[in-house]
Amino acid sequence: MIDIRLLRNDPISVKKSISRRGEETTDLDHIVELDEKYRKTAEKRDQLRNEIKELSRQVGALHKSGKKDEAAPLQDSSREMREEEEALSNKCDHLSIEIHELLLRVPNIPAEECPNGKSAEDNVVVRVEGQGEKDWDSCQHVPHWEIGETLGILDVERATKLSGSMFAMYTGLGATLCRALIQYGLDRNADEYREIRPPTLVSTETMVSTGHLPKFADDAYHLERDDLWAIPTAEVPLTSYARDEIISESELPMKLMSHTSCFRREAGSAGRDTRGLLRVHEFDKVELLAYATPEQAQEVHKDILSRAESAIADLGLSYRILDLCAGDLGNSSARTFDIEVYAPGAEQWLEVSSVSWFSDYQARRANVRYRSEETKGTSVIHTLNGSGLAVPRVWAALVETHRQEDGSIRIPEPLLPYMQGLKIID
């Protein structure tokens, strides 16, 4: 969440920044009003506490001097003041909860460098690498769902029978290719990123920490009986890896990676293309996440982007990098670069990685702080993350891009060590 002190000290600037997203700012006005009430109420409460403390001292002194009669009226006054203090304290608690719940729904402040814009149409294309949209052979203009069925490596029909629409089942060498991509994504980042295998089901508090709750509850799978949530991305448990902890600055940047299954309802996908692997409810992904100081954040952001980009480039896929405008940013993000691959068979650009800097927004929710040897107290950490390798759409673009005239799929060289000695899928 945003730092309420920013809103308290400069509400106009905060409202202006949030409005860049196309968001209403009426909640911010309400938070400012509630915060002012809270501080005035807290001031009265604290003043009463001091007066009660002084009365208690006086009553104690009178009892010690044997002047119980003189102490009695003071005790009565103290009792009345305690009742008033308790009422004020309860009012503070209620105001604090209301402010906190409103703050949880306020999106992050976009970075100054983030382009202005209202929607995805306003995102800035940083660069395009590889073939253009029309520079493809006829054998590559076959969609992956047809390729998968022909080669027996993707079975959407049986997946639908088992689980319903928007689920997929990799079969034979298709499953091997899926596993190869995962191991490829892990191995190429093992030089700096520590592998973690977190739980796939997490608590509500863990989902709140990243900003997925309360705003995006409809997009998540909730196990109501146990009040657990199926993670939409490993970003969720990794962000809470050090929740409610204080980390030494010497440990930063702390870099983590995970391979997990991810689950998304895709509640807003009505009317979108959901064929094959374009949009699925369950998928595998290698996630990169880092804790950093504010000074380290920009270099870490570049590092994650570079790693995600090189993973795609080394697979021989055509891709582009987008600098997302303020109106298309994720709720928790301050700055995001998307990597999209081109799938010539589906004739679409497919997002395969969002590399985001969240400033201190998520860590403030998760209460992850760090201590520096040079300054007193603690500071809120910055979090960053990106998909090191998201399987479904990379799998789709790969089989379309590397399809040969005879219908077989050429395996890109970086994946050969993971493909049981095979160089093609036919």
Is residue 71 domain-shared with residue 15, that is, in the same domain? yes
What percentage of the chain carries pLDDT values higher than 70? 99
Return the pLDDT at 268: 66
**Rounded Cα distance, 269 and 377, in Å:** 46
What token pair was written down for 311? 């993973």
- Phi (first) and psi of residue 136, to 5 degrees: -130, 150
Is residue 230 domain-shared with residue 262, that is, in the same domain? yes
From the CB of residue 244, how many other CB atoms can be counted at a distance below 10 Å? 11
Is residue 88 domain-shared with residue 184, that is, in the same domain? no
Residue type, 385: N
Quote the pTM value: 0.93
Picking from 103, 129, 161, the residue at the C-terminal end of a domain is: 103
Task: Give the structural domain span for 348.
Answer: 120-425
**Residue pLDDT, tens place only, 151-176:** 999 999 999 999 999 999 999 999 99
Picking from 103, 138, 168, the residue at the C-terminal end of a domain is: 103
Is residue 146 domain-shared with residue 205, that is, in the same domain? yes
Return the pLDDT at 382: 98
> Strand 335-343 to strand 348-357: parallel, antiparallel, or no bridges (unpaired)?
antiparallel
Is residue 23 domain-shared with residue 169, that is, in the same domain? no
Here the CATH number for the domain that contains residue 27 is 1.10.287.40
CA atoms in the 13 A half-sphere facing the CB of 270: 3
Is residue 85 domain-shared with residue 142, that is, in the same domain? no
**Rounded Cα distance, 197 and 257, in Å:** 8
Return the pLDDT at 214: 94
Helical axes 173-187 vs 391-401, angle rounded to 10°: 110
Return the pLDDT at 267: 75
Asked, for residue 114, whether it belongs to a domain, the answer is no
Rg of the chain taking only CA atoms, in angstroms:
27
From the CB of residue 272, how many other CB atoms can be counted at a distance below 10 Å? 9
**Rounded Cα distance, 276 and 68, in Å:** 85
CA atoms in the 13 A half-sphere facing the CB of 416: 8
Asked, for residue 112, whether it belongs to a domain, the answer is no
Asked, for residue 50, whether it belongs to a domain, the answer is yes
Is residue 258 domain-shared with residue 387, that is, in the same domain? yes
Return the pLDDT at 193: 98
- Per the prediction, the chain carries an average pLDDT of 96
Asked, for residue 56, whether it belongs to a domain, the answer is yes
**Rounded Cα distance, 222 and 238, in Å:** 19
For the chain, what is the domain count? 2
**Residue pLDDT, tens place only, 184-220:** 999 999 999 999 999 999 999 999 999 999 999 999 9
Residue 426 near residue 172, CB atoms below 8 Å: no
From the CB of residue 99, how many other CB atoms can be counted at a distance below 10 Å? 20
- Phi (first) and psi of residue 108, to 5 degrees: -70, 160
* Residue ranges for the chain with pLDDT beneath 70: 268-272
Return the pLDDT at 165: 94
What token pair was written down for 264? 């998304």
Is residue 186 domain-shared with residue 98, that is, in the same domain? no
Asked, for residue 108, whether it belongs to a domain, the answer is no
Return the pLDDT at 364: 98
Is residue 143 domain-shared with residue 289, that is, in the same domain? yes
Q: Is the dihedral of CA 398, 402, 407, 409 positive or negative?
A: negative
Give the burial class of 335: count Cβ atoms within 10 A of its Cβ; 0-12 exposed, 13-18 middle, 19 or more buried: buried
Is residue 125 domain-shared with residue 45, that is, in the same domain? no
Picking from 103, 133, 151, the residue at the C-terminal end of a domain is: 103
Residue 31 near residue 102, CB atoms below 8 Å: yes
Asked, for residue 110, whether it belongs to a domain, the answer is no
Residue 357 near residue 111, CB atoms below 8 Å: yes
Here the CATH number for the domain that contains residue 355 is 3.30.930.10
Asked, for residue 173, whether it belongs to a domain, the answer is yes
Is residue 91 domain-shared with residue 206, that is, in the same domain? no
**Rounded Cα distance, 195 and 62, in Å:** 66
Is residue 96 domain-shared with residue 130, that is, in the same domain? no
